[in-house]
A = this chain, B = another copy of it.
Amino acid sequence: MKTVYIVRREHFNAAHKLWREDWSAEKNEEVFGKCSNKNWHGHNFNLFVTVKGVPSEETGFIIDLKELSRIIKRDVVETLDHKNLNLDVPYLAGLLPSTENLIIKIWEILETPIAEAGGSLAKLRLEETENNFVEYFGGAEPF
């Protein structure tokens, strides 16, 4: 089986803070450091979405990249770009917006529409800075 993995990058800019209301300011500062600043900070996020499949004999495609881009923009970028991850995003309500938690949510959002478009979501990579990023494989074995 000639399974190929295709990757599409999209990006968004957002504000957030790491802060627990049930902790004191001191405890938040101790655990989350600068990320606990009460007035927020922000990042340019890069999101890499990997879809796997066997290229179609008819088109040479695993998935139409234009359609993949459209799904990511509609379901992820539009909901996160120029937003506050703690305040503005219904599906993140009540969640600490660490990159770890964020990437799991993005997987849950993208898995079904990508499947409906004929693809199989295989991996996500979410870069918060050039030094810090996370990868997620939906709980499956990584690659």
Which A residues contact B (CB, under 8 angstroms)? 1-11, 13-16, 18, 20, 31-35, 37, 39-44, 50, 52, 55, 58-62, 64-66, 81-84, 87-88, 95-101, 103-104, 122, 129-137, 139, 141-143
Copies of this protein, total: 6
What are the residues of chain B within 8 A of A136 when measuring CB–CB? 2, 4-5
A39 contact from B58, B64, B83, Cβ within 8 A:
B83
Is there an interface contact between B133 and A96, defined as CB atoms closer than 8 Å? no
What are the residues of chain B within 8 A of A15 when measuring CB–CB? 15, 39-42
A42 contact from B20, B43, B96, B101, Cβ within 8 A:
B43
What is the bound-complex CA distance between A132 and B8, given in angstroms?
5
A44 contact from B8, B44, B141, B143, Cβ within 8 A:
B44
What is the bound-complex CA distance between A92 and B112, given in angstroms?
34
Is there an interface contact between A55 and B129, defined as CB atoms closer than 8 Å? no
What are the residues of chain B within 8 A of A96 when measuring CB–CB? 59-60
Given contacts A15-B15, A39-B83, 14 further A-B contacts (CB under 8 A): A3-B139, A4-B135, A9-B131, A13-B42, A13-B43, A15-B39, A15-B40, A18-B59, A31-B59, A35-B82, A42-B42, A50-B135, A65-B132, A122-B142
